[in-house]
Structure 1
Amino acid sequence: MKDFAGKIAVITGGGTGMGRELARQLVAEGCNVAMCDVSAEAMAETKRLCEVERLPQGLRITTHIADVSIEDHYKRFRDELMEQQATDKIHLLFNNAGIGGGGSMFINTREQWERTFNICWGGVYLGVRTFLPLLVRADEAHMVNTSSVNGFWASVGIGVSHTAYSAAKFAVKGFTEALINDLRLNAPHVKCSVVMPGHIGTSIVSNSRKVQLGTESDQLSADELTQARQRLKGQGVDVAKLSDADIQKLALDRARIFHDEAPTTAAAAAKIILDGVKADRWRILVGDDAHLLDERVRKTPEQAYTPEFYQSIVAETGWKVG
C-alpha cells in the first residue's frame, strides 16, 4: 500500500499519543479515519487537530466510544463505522490502544492485572476478530498491531515488576507473526505488521491511572504510594527519608518526564509506522532505543535481565529513570 489517499483507516486509542498522531498524518494524506477511545473529549481534540488544515472534500473523520477489552463495544464501533463511513470494508486497522499497570503478581490485584492484559492483548485480538471481514473485502489491506520493546524484553528496570504489560505485548508480537502465514494462506491481499516502540513521548503513565482507577485525580492512593515506594527502593533510593508528599511529587515528575523527555515523539513514531506500512515491512521498530535493545537482547539473551544489562541500556539511550 504505497499511499493512503481515499482509503479508510480504523484506529483504536485515537484520543491521545500515537493514535492521535496516526490520525493526523493519515488525514493529511487524504485518508478517511474512524477512531475509538474511552474519552470523547480526547477524540474531539484529535478530530479538531485533524481539521485544522483544510480537509479534502468528502473526507470523513468519525469518533466512537469503545473500551477495546469488551467485544460488544467493538461490534457497536464496527456497526457505527459502517453506517457513518458508508462502507462495508476498510483498508487499514491500527490496533493501537494500550495502558500500563498491574505489573506485579504479588502487589497488584487480579483486576488491575487483567485490566492491563485485556486491553493490551485482548484489544488487539478482538480488533482483528471484529474487523478482519472488512479488511478482507478491500482490494488491499494492512493491519498494524502495536506491541512494544516489552514484547521481546520483559522489563522496565530491575526495581519494577512489569508482568501484565509484558505478557500482553509478547502475545501481540507472537500473534502478529503467526498471522503472516495465516493471511498468506487465506487472504494474501491483507498484510500485517507488528510495531515495537521504545520510549515514546505519550501520556500512557497518566492515562493508565485514569483507566485503572477511574479517576482524574493526580493524588496517589495508599496502594499506589506503597507501590511507588517499592519501585524507588528497587532503584536504590532510600525511601525511609521520603514523606508521602515527596513520593507524590516524584510520581507526578515521572509522568511529566515520560511525556516530555522521551527520545522519540509520538508524531515521529507515527511517521515511522506509516512509512513501514508503505514499505510493506512486517516488523517495525520505533526509536533508536528500540533498535539498540533488539540488537542487545538477540546478542546476549542470557544477560538481558541483569542489572548490568539494564544500566548499560540506560547509559546508551539516555532513558530517564524515575
Structure 2
Amino acid sequence: MRDFAGKLAVVTGGGTGMGRELVRQLVAEGASVAMCDLFADAMAETTRLCEADGVTQGARITSHVVDVGDEAQVIRFAAEVARDHATDHIHLLFNNAGIGGGGSFVLDDRAEWDRVFQICWFGVYYSCRAFFPMLERAAEGHIVNTSSANGFWAALMPGVSQTAYSAAKFAVKGFTEGLVTDLRNYAPHIKASIVMPGGVGTPIGLNSRRVLSGEGMTEVTRRKLRQHLKAIGMPGGEDMDDAALEAAQQMLARRFEELAPTSAAQAATIILDGVKADRWRIIVGDDATRLDRRVRAEPERAYDPDFVAYAAD
C-alpha cells in the first residue's frame, strides 16, 4: 500500500497522542478515517486540528465513542463505520488505543490490572475480529497493531514494576507476529505490522488516570502518585494535598511530552512510512532500537539493575 489517498482507515485511540497524529497524517494524505476513543471531547479536538490542517476533498472523518475493552462496543463500532462511510470494506486498521497502570501483580488492585490488560490486549483482539470481514472485502488491507518497547522488555525502568501493560504488549506482539504467516497463508492481500515505540511524547499518564479513576483523585491514585514521586527522587510527595499532587502530575505529564525522544507526530510518520514500505516490524525511536538490540544480544541481563545504563551505551 504505497499511498493512502482514497483509502478508509480505522484508528482506535484517535483522541490524543499517536492516534491523533495518525488521523491527521492519514487525512492529509487523502484518506478517510473513522476514529474511536473513550472521550468525545478529545476526538472533537482531533477533528478540529484536521480541519485546520485542511481536509483533502473527498476525505471524511467520523468519531465514535467506544471502549475497545468491551467487545459489544467494538462490534457496534464496526457497524457504525459501515453505515457512516456507506461501505462494506476498510483498508487500514490501526489498533493504537492503550492505557498504563496495574504495574504490580503483587500490590495493585486486580480491577485496575484487569482493566489495563483488557484495553491493551483484548482491545486489539476484539478490533481485529470485528473489522476482519471488512478488511477481507478490500482489494488490499493492512492491520497495524501497537505494542511497545515493553512488548520485548517487561520493565518501565529499573526497580519499577510493569506487569499488566507489559503482559498485554507481549501478547499483542506475539499475536501480530503469528498473523504475518496466517495472513500470508489464507488472506495474502492483507498485511500485518507490529509497532514497538520507545519513549513517545503523549499524554498517556493523564489519559490512563482519566480512564481508571475519573477526573478526581482517589486514594489509590494518591498512593501510586506518591510512590512514583518517591521513585524518581522528588521529595515531599507524602505531604502533598490533592491540589499539589494534581499539579505535580500535570508537571510530570508535560515534562514527559516535552522530553520524550520522539514526538507523537514523528512516531506517526515512522509508522505510516513503515506501512508504505511493507515492513512487518516497525520500531519507533532510537531508544527502542538500542534497547531491542541489547535485549536480543544478552537476554539474561535484561532485568539486571544496571541494564538500562548498559543499553543506552
TM-score past 0.5 threshold: yes
Instruction: Note the C-alpha offset of 1:240.
Output: 7.6
Equivalent residue runs for 1:14-33 within 5 Å: 14-33=14-33
Cα pair 1:202 1:259 within 8 Å, conserved: yes
One-letter code aligned to 1:225: R
The alpha-carbon deviation at position 225 of structure 1 amounts to: 3.0
**Counterpart of 2:190?**
190
Give secondary structure in 1 for the equivalent of 2:87: coil
* 3-state SS of 1:307 partner: coil
Residue number in structure 1 paired with 2:79: 79
Partner of residue 211, structure 1:
211
Question: Alpha carbon RMSD of aligned pairs, Å?
Answer: 1.8
Measure the CA separation in 2 of the matches of 1:73 and 1:108.
27
Letter in 1 for 2:297: K
What percentage of aligned pairs have identical amino acids?
Answer: 59
Aligned residue among 220, 224, 236 for 1:223: 220
Give the C-alpha shift of residue 234 in structure 1: 4.8
2:289 aligns with 291
Which residue does the alignment assign to 1:146? Answer: 146
CA contact (8 A) 1:10 1:92 kept: yes
Q: Does 1:106 align with 2:106?
A: yes
Once structures 1 and 2 are overlaid, which stretch shifts more, 192-201 or 58-67?
Answer: 58-67
Q: Is the 8 A contact 1:205 1:258 kept in 2?
A: no
CA distance in 1, matches of 2:235, 2:172: 36
Distance 2:6 2:225 in 1: 47
Displacement, 1:129?
A: 0.3
Contact 2:89 2:135 in 1 (8 A): yes
Aligned residue in 2 for 1:320? none
Contact kept, 8 Å, 2:142 with 2:191, in 1: the verdict is yes
- 1:257 counterpart = 2:246: no
How far apart, in 2, do the equivalents of 1:201 and 1:239 lie?
A: 25
Determine the C-alpha separation between the residues in 1 that align with 2:156 and 2:290.
15
Secondary structure class of the residue paired with 2:53? coil
Q: Deviations over 1:18-40 (max 9, x none)?
A: 00000000001100100000111
8 Å CA contact 2:158, 2:306 repeated in 1: no
Q: Matched residues in 2 for 1:100 and 1:54: separation?
A: 33
> Cα offset for 1:55?
2.5
| 1:144-197 superposed Cα distances (whole Å, 9 cap, x missing partner) | 000000000000112321100000000000000000111111100000000000
Residues in 2 aligned to 1:156 and 1:133: alpha-carbon distance in whole angstroms: 36
Cα pair 2:213 2:221 within 8 Å, conserved: no
Q: CA deviation at 1:222?
A: 2.8
Partner of 1:281: 279
Query: Contact between 1:229 and 1:239, CA under 8 Å: does it hold in 2?
Result: no
Which amino acid counterpart does residue 240 of structure 2 have in structure 1? D
TM-score (norm 1): 0.92
Letter paired with 1:280: D
Match of 2:265 among 264, 267, 272: 267
Structure 2 unaligned blocks of 5 or more: none
Tell me how far apart the structure 1 counterparts of residues 254 and 71 of structure 2 sit (CA, whole Å): 33
| Alignment gaps of 5+ in structure 1 | 317-322
- One-letter code aligned to 2:268: A
Aligned residue-pair number: 311
Structure 1 segments of 4+ aligned residues over 3 angstroms from their partners: 228-235, 237-242, 245-252
1:52 aligns to what SS in structure 2?
helix
Cα contact 2:226–2:237 (8 A) shared by 1? no
* TM-aligned CA distance change 1:73 to 1:3, over 3 Å: same
Q: Deviations over 1:100-143 (max 9, x none)?
A: 01111122111100110000001000010000110010000001
Report the CA distance shift for 1:252/1:55 in structure 2 as closer, same or farther (over 3 A): closer
Report what 2:135 is aligned to: 135
* Structure-1 separation of matches of 2:280 and 2:8: 20
Counterpart contact for 1:201–1:259, Cα < 8 Å: yes
